[in-house]
C-alpha cells in the first residue's frame, strides 16, 4: 500500500494562467488586422468549424467579470499579451489608438486592483497584416518597428507592469509560417525560416536593451516552448541526432536569450549547407549583451528523435528532418485530442537542465495544459465540467516540477494554459483547455471542477499526491 505525500510549494509562488490578446479579446474597436484576421477572411475553411478570432472570448467586454473569477480561483498572477494591431494605429509613426490605450489601461488596472500581478507579453503570434506584407519577421525594418512598439508599451504601462516578455514561443511562427504551413504566410523555406528566427532573437534583444535604457524597474524575459529531445537509444548516432534537434528547436532561442550566443553546431551546419542568416557584428553584440532576467517555459510535450534511417537525399528540399528522424516511443501515453505525448517527467528534466546548463536562471512554467475535445460529455447535473483528467494531468506535472525545485532549480511559478476556454488559432474552439468553460452560444463562464481544485491547491500551497 503506497502512502500519499504533501507536495508543497513556497508561499510566494506565482499561481495563475496564461492567455493572449488575439485568442481572447475579440475584434471590437481593433485598429488594424493581424495575420489571423486576414487569413480567416480569405480562407475560413482552414479554421475548425470556420471560426476565426472575431469574437474569441470577447474579453474586450468581459475582462472585469473574468478577473473576478480569477480572484475566486485565488490567482496572484496572470499573463496575457498586448496586441500590436490594437495598441498602434500607425506602425510607422507609432501613433496610438486611443481606445486600445484605454482598454489595456483598464485591463491592467483591474488586475492590480484584485491583487493579481499582470505578466505582459509583447508578441504572441499576431503580426499586423500590414507589416507581414512588408516581410514580417524576415524584414529587419519590421524589427525596428517592433522595438518602437515595445518602447511605447513600456512608456504607457511600465509604471504598473513589472513582468515583461518580449515574445511567446518565437519558434512557432518560424515552424508554422516557414516550414510546416500552420501559420500565415504558409511558406516552406528553411533558409528564410532561419532568417526569421535570427531576426526574432534580434528583436527580443533590442527590446530588452530598450527596456533597460528606459530604466525599467521590473524584469524582462521571453517565453519559450521547450520540447526536451530524447534519443531513441544510447547509440552515438541517436544521441547526436537528438542533440541537433534540441539545438534547432530549443537552444536556437534558449542559448541567445540566456547566454547571448547561438549553438555552435547550428552555425557549423548552416555554413555547410549555405543557410546562414544575414547578420552584422553590431547585431550580434546586441544579442550578446542583452540577455533575459526571467524565463517563461511553456511545456506540453517532449520530442523523441533517432538518427536518419536513410542517407540524406541531396535532391530533396532541405528541412530540419533532413538531419534526423522522429521516433515513436512504444511506451508513450497520448493526449488523443491534441495528438501530443503526455510525459510529466520532462518538467523535472527541464528544471535540472536550466539549473546545470543555464546558470540556474529564474524561471516559471508559463504554460502547461491539456486540450480536450467534446468536454460537454463531462457536464454534471449542475452544468459543471467534471474534468478529473485535467486535475490528474496537473498533479503529475506539479509533482515533477516540485521535485526539480527541491533540487534547487530556480522555478518561481506555475501558469496553466488557460483561464477561460479560448480560441486556438486554426483549431479555433476544437479543444478546451481552461479552468473555466465558455458557452459559445451566450458567452457564459462556468468554473470547472479543476478550477475549484486549483483554488484549494493555491490556498494550501500544495496538495496530497
- Alpha carbon distance 62, 169 (integer Å): 26
Instruction: Using DSSP bridges, classify how beta strands 303-306 and 294-298 pair: parallel, antiparallel or unpaired.
Output: unpaired
Query: What would the grid cell of residue 396 be?
Result: 503529475
Task: Count the helices and strands in the chain (H runs, E runs).
Answer: 16, 21
- Alpha carbon distance 413, 411 (integer Å): 6
- Alpha carbon distance 419, 451 (integer Å): 9
Positions marked catalytic? 169, 367
CA angle at 457 for the pair 452 and 463, rounded to the nearest 5°: 125
Query: What would the grid cell of residue 154 be?
Result: 513600456
DSSP 211-255: HHHTT--SEEEEEEE---EEESSSSHHHHHHHHHHHIIIIIHHHH
**165 and 223 Cβ atoms separated by less than 8 Å:** yes
Please provide residue 321's backbone torsions phi and psi, each rounded to the nearest 5 degrees. -75, 0
Distances (CA, A) of 342 to 233, 235, 302, 334, 335: 20, 25, 8, 5, 6
Amino acid at each position: 500500500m503506497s502512502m500519499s505525500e504533501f507536495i508543497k510549494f513556497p508561499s510566494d509562488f506565482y499561481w495563475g494562467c496564461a492567455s493572449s490578446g488575439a485568442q481572447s479579446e475579440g475584434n471590437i474597436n481593433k485598429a488594424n488586422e493581424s495575420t489571423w484576421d486576414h487569413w480567416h477572411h480569405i480562407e475560413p475553411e482552414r479554421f475548425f468549424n470556420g471560426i476565426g478570432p472575431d469574437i474569441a472570448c470577447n474579453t474586450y467586454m468581459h475582462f472585469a467579470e473574468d478577473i473576478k473569477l480569477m480572484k475566486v480561483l485565488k490567482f496572484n498572477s496572470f499573463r496575457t499579451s498586448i496586441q500590436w494591431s490594437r495598441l498602434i494605429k500607425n506602425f510607422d509613426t507609432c501613433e496610438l489608438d486611443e481606445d486600445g490605450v484605454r482598454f489595456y489601461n483598464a485591463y491592467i488596472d483591474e488586475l492590480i486592483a484584485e491583487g493579481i500581478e499582470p505578466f505582459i507579453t509583447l508578441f504572441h503570434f499576431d503580426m499586423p497584416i500590414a507589416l507581414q506584407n512588408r516581410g514580417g519577421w524576415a524584414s529587419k525594418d519590421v524589427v525596428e518597428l517592433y522595438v518602437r512598439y515595445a518602447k511605447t508599451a513600456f512608456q504607457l504601462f511600465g509604471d504598473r507592469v513589472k513582468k515583461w516578455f518580449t515574445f511567446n514561443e518565437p519558434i512557432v511562427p518560424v515552424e508554422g509560417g516557414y516550414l510546416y504551413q500552420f501559420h500565415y504566410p504558409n511558406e516552406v523555406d528553411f533558409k528564410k525560416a532561419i532568417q526569421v528566427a535570427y531576426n526574432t532573437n534580434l528583436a527580443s534583444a533590442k527590446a530588452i536593451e530598450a527596456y533597460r535604457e528606459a530604466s525599467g524597474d521590473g524584469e524582462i524575459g521571453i517565453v519559450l516552448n521547450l520540447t526536451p529531445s530524447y534519443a531513441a537509444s544510447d547509440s552515438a548516432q541517436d544521441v547526436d541526432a537528438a542533440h541537433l534537434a534540441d539545438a534547432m528547436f530549443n537552444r536556437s532561442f534558449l542559448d541567445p536569450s540566456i547566454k547571448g550566443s547561438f549553438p555552435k553546431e547550428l552555425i557549423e551546419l548552416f555554413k555547410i549547407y549555405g543557410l546562414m542568416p544575414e547578420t552584422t557584428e553590431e547585431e550580434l553584440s546586441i544579442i550578446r549583451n542583452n540577455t533575459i532576467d526571467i524565463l517563461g517555459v511553456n511545456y506540453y510535450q517532449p520530442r523523441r528523435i533517432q538518427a536518419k534511417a536513410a542517407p540524406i537525399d541531396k535532391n530533396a528540399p532541405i528541412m530540419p528532418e533532413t538531419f534526423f528522424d522522429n521516433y515513436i516511443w512504444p511506451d508513450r501515453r497520448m493526449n488523443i485530442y491534441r495528438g501530443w505525448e503526455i510525459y510529466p517527467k520532462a518538467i523535472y528534466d527541464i528544471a535540472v537542465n536550466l539549473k546545470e546548463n543555464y546558470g540556474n536562471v529564474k524561471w516559471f512554467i508559463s504554460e502547461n495544459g491539456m486540450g480536450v475535445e467534446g468536454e460537454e460529455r463531462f457536464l454534471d447535473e449542475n452544468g459543471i465540467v467534471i474534468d478529473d483528467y485535467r486535475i490528474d494531468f496537473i498533479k503529475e506535472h506539479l509533482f515533477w516540477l516540485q521535485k526539480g525545485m527541491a533540487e534547487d532549480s530556480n522555478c518561481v511559478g506555475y501558469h496553466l494554459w488557460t483561464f477561460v476556454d479560448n480560441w486556438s488559432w486554426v483549431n479555433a474552439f476544437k479543444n478546451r483547455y481552461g479552468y473555466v468553460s465558455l458557452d459559445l452560444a451566450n458567452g457564459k463562464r462556468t468554473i470547472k471542477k479543476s478550477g475549484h481544485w486549483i483554488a484549494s491547491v493555491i490556498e494550501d500551497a500544495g496538495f496530497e499526491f
